[in-house]
Amino acid sequence: MTQQFYVSPEQLTRDRADFARKGIARGRSVVVLSCRDGIALVAENPSPSLHKVGEIYDRIAFAAVGKYNEFESLRQAGVRYADVRGYSYDRGDVTARGLASVYAQSLGAVFTADSKPFEVELAVAEVGSHPDSDHLYRLTFDGSIADEQRFIVMGGQADAVVDALSSRWDADHDFGEAVRTAVDALRNDGGGAVGGVSEPRVRLDAGALEVAVLDRDPLTTRGARRAFRRFLPAEVATMLEGTQH
């Protein structure tokens, strides 16, 4: 029988974290930002059907980076959690905080106990009646949970995107302005290095983007209870053209 080598818990945790981080950084960034009209979720995603952002419940959306099969199963589990809760209690009793905490428990348990941690990072967003009451939760592969303000950037070269976004983010933006700001910031992810200085990419086409929003007041604007709305590529293209005017 072969003898297992002793590995210290610190070393084991570090190795697992490095493994997960590498997997997450491999993809492109996703931006979730709060604005006057609601919450915008913008991802660079060439596939029109394998979504990185999705609807969870009336006022709650989900965004993720990393391995598709892993975050898709987490998204479906989130939808089941929310639907069971809303069905057995009341629709108003489904909150982003509750969902984020069950995600944290699940990610944390897999990180310590399973053979491999999830290579994903998640955002759970809940739109409030005004921007101050929006909730943005960031969940990382080890089950850490953070309550963020203003915006969340995950995956790819997130630091470069955060730098570009923090100077231009404005609580008073409408959806068009917020999406354009986010897309401009996303150009900094994966830019080519010119003479040692990283340059943003020239442009991102509507076809390479996935854009969805949570309306702040869907009942009066659309007569619907569900705030989540996905934009078609043509609508995204119209939104982006606003830059030139």
Partner 1 sequence: MKLEDATASIGRAASTSFSGYLGANHPELLPSSRSAGGLTPASAPTVAPHATTIVSMTYAGGVLMAGDRRATMGNIIASRHIEKVFPADMYSVLGIAGSAGIALDIMRLFQVELEHYEKIEGDLMSLDGKANRLAAMIRANLPLALQGLAVVPLFAGFDTAQRVGRLFSYDVTGGRYEEQEHHSVGSGAAFARGALKKLWKPNLDEDRAVRVAVESLYDAADDDSATGGPDVVRQLWPVVYTANSAGARRVPERELALAAAQVIDSRSVAGREA
> Closer CB to partner 1, residue 2 or residue 49?
49
Helix (H, G, I), strand (E, B) or coil at 42: strand
Closest approach of partner 1 to the CB of residue 40, in Å: 19
Task: List interacting residues with partner 1 (CB under 8 A).
Answer: 49, 51, 54-56, 76, 79-80, 83-84, 86-88, 226
> Closer CB to partner 1, residue 76 or residue 144?
76
DSSP result, 144-201: -EEEESSEEEESSSHHHHHHHHHHH--TT--HHHHHHHHHHHHTTTTPPEETTEE---
Closest approach of partner 1 to the CB of residue 87, in Å: 5
Closest approach of partner 1 to the CB of residue 82, in Å: 9
Contact 179, 48 (CB under 8 A): no
Closest approach of partner 1 to the CB of residue 120, in Å: 18
Instruction: State the alpha helices, DSSP H only, in the chain.
Output: 9-25, 68-88, 96-113, 158-168, 175-186, 218-221, 233-241
> Closer CB to partner 1, residue 115 or residue 167?
115
> Closer CB to partner 1, residue 94 or residue 178?
94
